[in-house]
Every structure is written in structure tokens, then in C-alpha cells.
Amino acid sequence: MDCFIINGGRRVKGSVKISGSKNAALPILFATLLTDEKCEVSNVPDLADIKSTMNLLLYIGKICGHEDGIFTVSEEEPLKTRAPYELVRKMRASVLAAGPLLARFGKARFAMPGGCSIGVRPIDIHLEGLKQMGAEISYEDGDVVLNAGRLRPAVIPLHFPSVGATENIMMCASLVEGETVIKNAAREPEITDLAKALSSMGAEISGAGTSVLRVGGRARLGAVNYRVMPDRIETGSYMLVCAAAGGELRLTDAAPDTLTVFSDALRQAGAKISASGSEITIRAPEGRPAPVNVTTSPYPGFPTDLQAPWLSFVTMADGECEVREEIFENRFMHVPELMRMGADISVSGRKASVRGVPELHGAPVMASDLRAGMALIVAAAAAKGKTFIRRVYHIDRGYEKIEEKLRAVGIDIKRTRE
């Protein structure tokens, strides 16, 4: 397996071009299952999760290509309506194939996703929404089996604003004639991006970005031709690398308005941030950052996907602070690794209490998941000495060409084989 070796303590300087959003690209690529027309999605990052999505689309029967950020999807033969375990287990987002397949063919079968390192992440909200539209649900050999003689529009209240469930129901409803209303819908920018893509196919969607989302479905949808939004989590992650290691960084092709709460927290910690158009400039705090308490919550709150790298940053705060995780129940697995580097953190349930230390020190550490891996990169960039980060395949799921981008702004990072 690959690992990263980082010699820390080097200030950053330069610019990073932000890639297309992984979390927006995945549902848009699955939306191509709603049509038999040729689709083209641009600004799609080259990531392990994108490759997993391509493999599933290929298995189902689509013809796919991905080159220079452009992902093409076409169809010549009848499609399968099953997503097998060997493909689903590699990426939980594979469940997003269910809504489109059910809407188009009246049936879908997919392996029940297991738990993951950051929590159980059940799919009951997805299934309940599809059930209210007329799906019959059964279970067979570890698979979820969906059947529907005729789907119907519905008013669907979600008991939690699940991003994945909102996306699955949106895609399914886009191919069901009539208006479906999703109440307590997720409000993330990636939801808005999917809504724009579905609208380009012929669906009529209003309320994206609010808690009440209306989907006017059609009997047939056309091709997707769409450019994916910038990745706000990648943007925030590089901002934290700069804030922790020191220096100044310019981020291009970004979407500043998707990171308002996060940027405000960084400013409270002492960072200087300015934004103009699609560019963000950040200058690290002078001296140690001020301690700032944060609590993750659904958008527009503090993003759960930036909690782990944020925690790395505030380990060096000049004082004590708290980080509360209210989305996933097991998202502090990076804490023992940070403590190996000298951090002083105690965890109680969903709360991490941080007592800031003057500096971190390089050590051998291991990534437990995607965002925990980014947290270790933030810590390693700021630490004195050499850090070995193992299991970087987690990081490759969500950060395109990360070592190239970091080297270009002064971070001493090398990928090697264990």
C-alpha cells in the first residue's frame, strides 16, 4: 500500500486550483441512469470514488469514459437493475443507483451497505421515501429488493435532512409524472447542483437549498450536459493546511459562498480571509490560533467533513476549546493518531475537548477514513519532523492529485510504497 512521508514545519505559499466536487459529481453521474441519451459531465475529479462509480455504471450496462475531467456516459444494450455487493461495498454512495433504476425500470436490487468507520449510516430514510412513492421493499440474501408497478408523486417528510436520501428521492421523482414534495430536505450546495443537473434533463425543481424541495417529474428525461461545482470540502481542507502550517495561499476555481460558517470560524481563530469571485485568499494566524468552539450540523452549519482537519488545526490553539460532532457517532477515530503527534485531546461521546499545545511532532500514523486522513496531513504539515501516514488509499477517495498540489505550494510530501 502507498503511504505519505511529510517533513513538516514549512510555510505554504502559492495557489491551488480546486477540483470539481466529489460529493456533487457522484449523484449527477448516477442520474445518467435516468436516460438512454448520451450524457457529458465536466469538471469531474479523478478519484477512487469516481472510478468505483464508473465500475458500477459499467456493470449495469452503461458505456463510460473519463478523460481530462470530462465523464461521458452512453447506452446501447438493455441495462441491469442490480448493484452487487462486490461493487457496493467499495463505496456507500452506490446506493444512489437505486432511485434512478427504480424510476426507470420499476425495479432495483442492491446489496445492503454495511457500516463504515465513521458510523452506521443507515439507509432507512432512503427506503422510506421510495416506499411512500409506491415501492415495495423486501430483502433477499443480503440485498434490498425494490419493486413498483407504478410509482406516484408524494409528499415525503424526512425525519433527518439526509443528503443521500434527498438525492435518491429527487432522482426517482424526476422520472415520475406529477409533483413530489420533500420536506426537511438536505440544503447542501451539492443538492442544488444535482437539482440544476436534473433540471437540465427536463425535470422542474424548485426549493433547492431550502428545507422544502419540489420536484416536477416527467415521463421521459433527456441527456445530462453539466459542469460540476467546485469542491468545498477540498477548499476548506487546503485552507486548514495553510492555517496550521503558516503562510499564505490562494485558492482558485472555488465557491466562497459555500463555506461561510467555516470561514467565519477560521477568522475567529486569527486567519485573514478574503474572497473575490471564484478565488479565496487565506493568510495564517500570526502565532498560535485562538481557541474556537465548533459544532457540526447540516448545511449551512459547520461541515462534518471538515471536522477532522479542523481538530488538527486547533490542537495548536493558545487555550482550550471543544469540537462537537452531531452528524456521525464515531468520527473521532483520528484523535489517537493526533495524540501520537503530541496533541492533548480527550473524547467523551460526541465531544472532543482540546487543550492546545505549542507544537506537534512527526510520528508514524494511520488514516482510518477519508477525512481523518486529511486531518493527519494538516497535522503533519505543521509538525516538527517527519510524519509517515499509512493507508492513504482513504485520502485518494476524495482529494485529487493531493501530493502534487501540496508540493506546488511548498509542502515537503512524498508518496511511496510501504
pLDDT digits (tens, 9 = 90+) for 288-338: 999 999 999 999 999 999 999 999 999 999 999 999 999 987 789 999 999
Residues 212 and 252 in one domain: no
Residues 175 and 242 in one domain: no
Residues 59 and 105 in one domain: yes
**Tens of pLDDT along 14-42?**
999 999 999 999 999 999 999 999 999 99
C-alpha–C-alpha distance, residues 327 and 130, integer Å: 23
Contact 373, 391 (CB under 8 A): yes
Alpha-helical segments (H) within 150-273: 163-174, 189-201, 232-245, 260-268
Residues 222 and 240 in one domain: no
Residues 75 and 8 in one domain: no
Contact 134, 172 (CB under 8 A): no
**Tens of pLDDT along 75-103?**
999 999 999 988 888 787 889 999 999 99
pLDDT of residue 114: 54
Residues 189 and 314 in one domain: no
Q: What is the pTM of this model?
A: 0.95
**Mean pLDDT (whole number) for 341-365:** 97
Boundary of a domain, candidates 167, 194, 227: 227
**Mean pLDDT (whole number) for 152-166:** 96
pLDDT of residue 330: 74
Across the chain, mean pLDDT equals 95
What percent of the chain clears pLDDT 70, i.e. is strictly above it?
Answer: 98
> Which residues are tagged catalytic?
116
Residues 249 and 335 in one domain: yes
**Mean pLDDT (whole number) for 149-171:** 96
Identify the domain containing residue 284 by its residue range. 2-18+231-417
C-alpha–C-alpha distance, residues 259 and 372, integer Å: 20
Q: Which residues contact 307 (CB under 8 A, 6 or more apart)?
A: 294, 296, 323, 325, 331, 371
**Dihedral sign for Cα atoms in the order 367, 267, 383, 406:** positive
Closest CA to 79 of 52, 111, 99, 108: 108
**Mean pLDDT (whole number) for 346-359:** 97
Boundary of a domain, candidates 206, 227, 248: 227
**Domains contained in the chain, number:** 2
**Tens of pLDDT along 110-126?**
987 754 444 445 689 99
Residues 223 and 287 in one domain: no
Boundary of a domain, candidates 183, 204, 227: 227
Residues 54 and 85 in one domain: yes
Residues 26 and 12 in one domain: no
**Mean pLDDT (whole number) for 270-289:** 98
C-alpha–C-alpha distance, residues 253 and 57, integer Å: 28
Closest CA to 370 of 307, 326, 298, 417: 307
Residues 289 and 217 in one domain: no
Residues 192 and 73 in one domain: yes
Sheet containing 212-217: order of strands: 155-157, 178-183, 212-217, 204-206
The domain that holds 211 is classified in CATH as 3.65.10.10
pLDDT of residue 121: 52
- Is the pLDDT confidence value at 222 over 80? yes
Distance linking the first and last C-alpha atoms of the chain: 6
